[in-house]
Chains A and B, each alone.
Chain A
Amino acid sequence: MAPKKKAKASVPSQTLVIDNGAYTLKAGLVSNEAVDLSYDDCSVIPNCIARSSRDKRTYVASELAECKDFGELAFRRPVEKGFIVNWEAQKAIWEHEIMGADAGTELWCEPKNTNLLLTEKPNCPKELQKNCDEIVFEQFEFAAYYRCVGGAMNAYHSAFLGALPQECLLLIDTSYSDTTILPVYKGQLLHSAVRRLTVGGKLLTNYLKELSSLRHYNMLEETYLLNEIKEAVSFVAPTTQQFSKDLERTWKGRLGDKRELDSSIVLDYVLPDYEQSVHGYVRPHDPAKSRMRRGLQPLQGPREDLLPLGNERFAVPELLFNPADIGIREVGLPGAVIEALSGLPESLRVAMLANVVVVGGNTLIPGFMDRLEGELRTLVPSQYLLNIVRADDPIKHTWLGAARFASRPDLMKEALVTKAEYDERGSTWLGKKFAGGDR
């Protein structure tokens, strides 16, 4: 502690907060002692470089909004399994969005006059953490820097408690790369109880892509489209029993005993042709029109390609609750929560269950919260209070927690490491400090 007191005096007053997700990065500038932070202070930017083989153009991050043809769009993502792996691409995206000359004014900052608060996924390999620290100081040259597990930052939401973080928080983060369960005690992650599920949004999209390609058209190159379809149609069955019922309703029947598909559950997705339309849309299933689809399209007038979606709608998100359905040897999300808590003393377990917060993009799938709460309630002893909520904006919630942390000079003073300290002590020391070993 002793030798770093002098350097602390000259920390800049603004902090760049980045929640660097695999699918989107959430970023915003936070000034020292900002009071009324909200979700609006956060920009959500696709964290990818996309290449279209059709118009031969490469789209970097937010340029994706200009794209008019998502057909066969290929993505390069610097973040794999939630960790920054490819710094060449990540640097290009950061420079494009934040530090570069042509970056938007809202996010633009000069790293030398800015602190960086960067969040990461738990259980990051140490080598990757080291790379990250070295790039932040040696390439970007931020004035000061703090790297931490994003989920733990959600303990800093409570504004009225003043300086104290929430005492016990069980955070479930079901995001693009995977799903993690993070017990947080007074803002500190209980590392030994962190658990992770392989299933995340990426796997769900890829699974839908595989199913649609097998059953209808070859769509293996259409990642963007299938992600849109997934977001438009999928839902989580409220119970296992309802899942079975829905599966019956979407059954096509036996050979010789065909059933009409139930149009109250089967949908047709009208695929975009990228000439008239950029995005597709959903409508209830119409058997007459899908018969027409097979070669009987009118030569004049609007042609349309339909993708019928039956059991894909709920069988795909079902993987979050039953990964064994496709052979992943893991328990479902409710079981994973119980497993994470099983390593904790009972008093902590009780307190964690009374404050469960769910964040991440998969929570936006209709029915997700009801199913999770229902199944968790049956697994938790009945005398325990179970209080589970979804964050108001599950995508930006972690960023906001980190931003609230960054707006508190007292907390930041303890956490930040300045460039001078890094230059003096090196990245191995820094890695240990952020891991909590040096305090």
Chain B
Amino acid sequence: MPHVEVLPNSATQIAPGWTYVVDTGYDPSKIAINPKNKKRAAANPNQRGENELSSRQQTAIARRIAELNRDNDPKQIISIPGKTSIPKTQNARRIIQYQRQIKHWLDDEEAQLALVQQAPLPRSATTASRLAAQPLRRTSTVPPTPSELTPAPAAPTPNKPMSSRMDLDDDPLLAIDSSMPLPISQPDLDALLSAPPLSYAASHVAAPAPGGPPQRHFCDNCGYWGKIRCLKCGARVCGMECKDAHEATRCLKWT
């Protein structure tokens, strides 16, 4: 997962007798003693932004995505049938015997990156910071040796306008020079070509921009529009029938 956020949790540290809690300005225990507002908390729109999710929901979503994206079944170990050939070197034996999963390798990669960059970028690097980091990477790379440069035509202008230029070359009305983008300069191109690969985590696309279309909500049970929010867990349902089914099966209240 490229996008990591600090989940809003209630207790940060547990010690005997007392506990640190995040001051959210809302204390359910006090409200319960002296209620100013008779309406239930979940119905109160000021309590939580319309699209903000509770930590429990966020955890549930993260777990669900990880589950949907899982490669191999963790419950079952399938052994290789028949006799397998013997590894030829010690090194090959070591690699063949690895039982690690991809997430271990990716975590390793992250840890190594953090080591290399003295001030490690947080994994939650947004697009902006990633884009900002790119020029840094570019300048830090060694310029390629001339052997890399294929004998290219000077400027890689797009092919499309070229064909229309053939016969009507000097007609000013058909001139497209003004609408053509500036050709890329050779140093820029070299920098682009020699840029090192991003890490796996950094290669993911960014989250949608906040100004974009609002998130769509679907019924947790039947997949129709989720017009109603479950008061107990915040999931969306479409109507009474699905609400009952939801409470019987997936409602997070009991998890």
Q: Given known contacts A139-B92, A324-B208, is B157 in contact with A95 (CB within 8 Å)? A: no
A250 to B142, CA, bound (A): 58
> Of A74, A191, A251, which contacts B73 at CB under 8 A?
A74
Shortest CB–CB separation between residue B110 and chain A, in angstroms? 9
Asked if B72 and A75 sit within 8 Å, CB to CB, the answer is: yes
Asked if A49 and B216 sit within 8 Å, CB to CB, the answer is: no
A89 to B78, CA, bound (A): 9
> Of A326, A348, A350, which contacts B61 at CB under 8 A?
A326
On chain A, the residues within 8 Å of B89 by CB distance are 138-139
Answer yes or no: A389 CB below 8 A from chain B CBs: no
On chain A, the residues within 8 Å of B144 by CB distance are 439
Asked if A186 and B159 sit within 8 Å, CB to CB, the answer is: no
Binds B, one of A208-216, A267-275, A393-401: A208-216
Q: Given known contacts A80-B72, A127-B105, A324-B215, is B197 in contact with A58 (CB within 8 Å)? A: no
A195 to B205, CA, bound (A): 6
Asked if B69 and A327 sit within 8 Å, CB to CB, the answer is: no
Binds B, one of A293-301, A337-345, A360-368: A337-345
Residue among B61, B142, B205, B207 having the largest count of chain A Cβ atoms under 10 Å: B205
Instruction: Return the chain B residue nearest A166 by Cβ.
Output: B159
On chain A, the residues within 8 Å of B188 by CB distance are 345
Residue-wise, chain A 63-88 has the 8 Å CB interface mask toward B (1 for contact) of 00000000000111101110101111
Residue-wise, chain B 135-154 has the 8 Å CB interface mask toward A (1 for contact) of 00110001011011010100
Asked if A85 and B156 sit within 8 Å, CB to CB, the answer is: no
Q: Given known contacts A60-B81, A123-B199, A326-B61, is B204 in contact with A198 (CB within 8 Å)? A: yes
Answer yes or no: B253 CB below 8 A from chain A CBs: no
Instruction: Return the chain B residue nearest A337 by Cβ.
Output: B205
Residue among A88, A141, A180, A188 having the largest count of chain B Cβ atoms under 10 Å: A88
Instruction: Return the chain B residue nearest A49 by Cβ.
Output: B78
Residue-wise, chain B 17-50 has the 8 Å CB interface mask toward A (1 for contact) of 0000000000000000000000000000000000
We find that the number of chain B residues with CB closer than 8 angstroms to chain A is: 94
Answer yes or no: A97 CB below 8 A from chain B CBs: no
In chain A, positions 370-397 with a C-beta closer than 8 Å to chain B are 383, 385
Answer yes or no: A415 CB below 8 A from chain B CBs: no
Asked if A325 and B218 sit within 8 Å, CB to CB, the answer is: yes
Shortest CB–CB separation between residue B68 and chain A, in angstroms? 4
In chain B, positions 169-204 with a C-beta closer than 8 Å to chain A are 179-184, 188-189, 192-200, 202-204
In chain A, positions 209-261 with a C-beta closer than 8 Å to chain B are 210-211, 214-215, 247, 250-252, 254-255
Shortest CB–CB separation between residue B22 and chain A, in angstroms? 22
Asked if B68 and A207 sit within 8 Å, CB to CB, the answer is: yes
A185 to B156, CA, bound (A): 10
Shortest CB–CB separation between residue A381 and chain B, in angstroms? 11
Answer yes or no: A20 CB below 8 A from chain B CBs: no
A123 to B250, CA, bound (A): 37
Answer yes or no: B52 CB below 8 A from chain A CBs: no
Asked if B137 and A192 sit within 8 Å, CB to CB, the answer is: yes
Shortest CB–CB separation between residue A196 and chain B, in angstroms? 5
Q: Given known contacts A185-B192, A190-B192, A195-B205, is B101 in contact with A326 (CB within 8 Å)? A: no
Asked if A192 and B78 sit within 8 Å, CB to CB, the answer is: no
Answer yes or no: A279 CB below 8 A from chain B CBs: no
Answer yes or no: B167 CB below 8 A from chain A CBs: no
Q: Given known contacts A139-B87, A347-B183, is B156 in contact with A168 (CB within 8 Å)? A: yes
> Of B2, B102, B148, B218, which contacts A439 at CB under 8 A?
B148
Instruction: Return the chain A residue nearest B75 by Cβ.
Output: A74
Answer yes or no: B254 CB below 8 A from chain A CBs: no
Answer yes or no: B127 CB below 8 A from chain A CBs: yes
Instruction: Return the chain A residue nearest B5 by Cβ.
Output: A329
Q: Given known contacts A215-B222, A311-B223, is B88 in contact with A76 (CB within 8 Å)? A: no
Shortest CB–CB separation between residue A169 and chain B, in angstroms? 12
Answer yes or no: A369 CB below 8 A from chain B CBs: no
Instruction: Return the chain B residue nearest A331 by Cβ.
Output: B208
Asked if B221 and A346 sit within 8 Å, CB to CB, the answer is: no
Shortest CB–CB separation between residue A20 and chain B, in angstroms? 14
A41 to B221, CA, bound (A): 47
Asked if B197 and A194 sit within 8 Å, CB to CB, the answer is: yes
Answer yes or no: A91 CB below 8 A from chain B CBs: yes
> Of B137, B205, B238, which contacts A336 at CB under 8 A?
B205
Answer yes or no: A328 CB below 8 A from chain B CBs: yes
Answer yes or no: A126 CB below 8 A from chain B CBs: yes
Binds B, one of A6-14, A27-35, A128-136: A128-136
Asked if B102 and A126 sit within 8 Å, CB to CB, the answer is: no
Answer yes or no: B231 CB below 8 A from chain A CBs: no
Answer yes or no: A122 CB below 8 A from chain B CBs: yes
Q: Given known contacts A127-B105, A195-B205, is B64 in contact with A326 (CB within 8 Å)? A: yes
Shortest CB–CB separation between residue B96 and chain A, in angstroms? 5
On chain A, the residues within 8 Å of B180 by CB distance are 347
Asked if B67 and A247 sit within 8 Å, CB to CB, the answer is: no
Q: Given known contacts A80-B71, A85-B100, A135-B96, is B65 in contact with A92 (CB within 8 Å)? A: no
Asked if A85 and B197 sit within 8 Å, CB to CB, the answer is: no
Answer yes or no: A203 CB below 8 A from chain B CBs: yes
A168 to B179, CA, bound (A): 19
Answer yes or no: B84 CB below 8 A from chain A CBs: yes
Answer yes or no: B134 CB below 8 A from chain A CBs: yes
Instruction: Return the chain B residue nearest A354 by Cβ.
Output: B160
Shortest CB–CB separation between residue A21 and chain B, in angstroms? 13
Asked if A327 and B61 sit within 8 Å, CB to CB, the answer is: yes
Shortest CB–CB separation between residue B1 and chain A, in angstroms? 8
On chain A, the residues within 8 Å of B79 by CB distance are 58
Write 14 A-B pairs (CB below 8 A) sorted by A numbering: A49-B81, A74-B73, A77-B72, A88-B98, A123-B202, A190-B193, A196-B204, A197-B205, A203-B68, A215-B221, A329-B3, A329-B207, A330-B205, A354-B158
B residues near A (Cβ < 8 Å) are 1-3, 61, 64-65, 67-73, 76, 78-81, 84-85, 87-89, 91-92, 95-102, 105-106, 108-109, 127, 131, 134, 137-138, 142, 144-145, 147-148, 150, 152, 155-160, 179-184, 188-189, 192-200, 202-209, 215-216, 218, 221-225, 238-241, 249-250
Other A-B pairs beyond A347-B155, A351-B159, 4, CB < 8 Å: A92-B84, A128-B105, A167-B159, A255-B241
- The 3 tightest CB contacts between A and B, nearest first, are A80-B102, A327-B61, A346-B181
